[in-house]
Chain A
Amino acid sequence: MKFIFMFLLLTLAPNSFADNVLVAVASNFKAPMEQISAQFSKKTGHKLLISFGSTGKFYTQIKNDAPFDVFLSADQDHPAKLAQNNLALKETQFTYAIGKLVLWSPDPKIVDNKGEVLLKGSYAHLALANPKLAPYGVAARETLSQFGLWEKLQARLVFGENITQSHQFVASGNADLGFVAYSQLIIPKKAIKGSFWLVPQKMYSPLKQDAILLIKGKNKIAPKEFLAFLKSESAKTIIKEYGYEEHTP
């Protein structure tokens, strides 16, 4: 009994001083988000409970009353649609990062710096995120269409449920190469493993990634503090470190 009491005291104690913020975050932003979260907690004492997944999936979950306070999408459409449906606050929407699409293989010899491997390569499987659910999947489809390859490659495409799964298909070697987020390849101060092609941004619609305050976080202070922190210089430094472009309005 004594132990149970002590256990409860230990687990509940931190919460009495700070709030938890439930954040839904697009998978491509995983690595920077973890660092931002650590800094935010250190600074404010609030704790972020983060779920990573595809933008489309979070959209569905939020429409079905998921308990998230803040949504960091991989595009602008989904947050805007949530605001239209009165599930998010329109005036809080802003672009926190502009993502970049890369074609990547852990094998240093596979991907050239013009993406010509797509046309010439003898690969069995090319991984990408499901365009139905993930904005990075849409960008990958647009890039393949530019090459006139979308129809032709159908039998060789494998779809990850989100960008993390496409990365994992390639990293495990099950797919020879794949479209992933540039941020997924970056470990600060280390060289990128394998070979990659940074897809020119004119080949796909810009991956402007927007954050928005959801209706569940409307009357809480901590979620707003987090959104403010996301705009701060220290957050921006981390975001840029992971290869994202800064949004200049």
Chain B
Amino acid sequence: MMSLDLSPIWLTLCLALTTTVLLMLIGTPIAWWLTKTTSPLRVPINAIVALPLVLPPTVLGFYLLLLMGPAGPIGRMTDFLGMERLSFTFFGLVVGSVIYSLPFVVHPIQNAFEAMGPGPMEAAATLRAGPIDRFFSVAVPLAKSGFFTAAVLGFAHTIGEFGVVLMIGGNIPGRTRVISVAIYDHVEALEYQQAHLLAGGMLLFSFIVLLIMYSRRRPMRLGI
């Protein structure tokens, strides 16, 4: 008799959605600042944003666990505010995922802003559009495809997260047991049927996401 617990699927979708929304809100100003600034901080901030691309998730998981614990600064802050500690909670996973997927959201937006060049914004300025108006009515629409790619990648990458969640999640059903952890559990316990269902679903889902993303990309035409 095989029973498949579906709660990891909903949990993963919730986590990915929350993370993506937060990342769009956090990532857009970072991307804009990185495009426009002449500050000497530009280089180190760029490097920090890209760190999760190269770090093993275990490094992030290890430091997050220490930071969120009672002796860590995040743990002290949550204690001080009378909040629940972040480790082993859904919100803790959100924090981990936001850090983990940050470059996947910032980079496409940053690229789109950079590709736009200063021209359109200057033109809008001559028409006396204020900086905020200029940003929303010129920059955002022009960088539309960058935002789309950022959202898709941020969402998909969070769904595929494993190492960080395993280390700070505690594998709690309905709260921190996401699909990737559930698959790991099933495989380790030799429950291959359940593992197949979840793993096959992930494979199909990821393929469809990438299909959608690439189908929006026009083939480049050479002007011969």
List the interface of chain A (C-beta within 8 A of B): 54, 56-57, 59-60, 63, 124-125, 127, 130, 132-133, 154-155, 157-161, 168-169, 172-175
Contacts and interface: CB of A to CB of B under 8 A. Distances in A.
B185 A158 contact: no
B134 to A, nearest CB: 46
A77 to B, nearest CB: 13
Given A158-B170, A169-B170, A56 B85 contact: no
Interface string B146-175: 000000000000000000001010111101
The list of the 9 closest CB pairs from A to B, nearest first, reads A158-B170, A174-B87, A173-B70, A159-B171, A173-B69, A172-B69, A132-B189, A57-B188, A158-B88
B220 interface: no
Contacts of B178: none
Given A172-B65, A174-B88, A125 B170 contact: yes
A216 B91 CA distance: 46
B188 A127 contact: no
Contacts of A157: 172
B5 interface: no
A175 B75 contact: no
A172 B188 contact: no
A152 B10 CA distance: 24
Contact of B66 (A57, A127, A154, A172): A172
SS class, residues of chain B in contact with chain A: loop
A82 to B, nearest CB: 12
24 contacts: A56-B189, A57-B188, A60-B189, A124-B84, A125-B88, A125-B170, A130-B185, A132-B185, A132-B188, A132-B189, A154-B173, A155-B172, A159-B170, A161-B166, A161-B171, A169-B88, A172-B66, A172-B69, A173-B69, A173-B70, A174-B70, A174-B85, A175-B87, A175-B88
B168 to A, nearest CB: 8
A172 B175 CA distance: 21
B185 to A, nearest CB: 6
Given A54-B188, A158-B171, A174-B68, 14 more contacts: A60-B187, A60-B189, A60-B190, A125-B88, A132-B189, A133-B185, A133-B188, A133-B189, A154-B173, A161-B171, A172-B65, A173-B71, A174-B85, A175-B170
A200 B40 CA distance: 63
A231 to B, nearest CB: 30
A56 B170 contact: no
Contacts of A172: 65-66, 69
A169 B169 CA distance: 10
A127 B171 CA distance: 10
A96 to B, nearest CB: 23
A138 to B, nearest CB: 12
Contacts of B168: 174
B150 to A, nearest CB: 32
Nearest to A132: B189
A193 to B, nearest CB: 14
B155 to A, nearest CB: 26
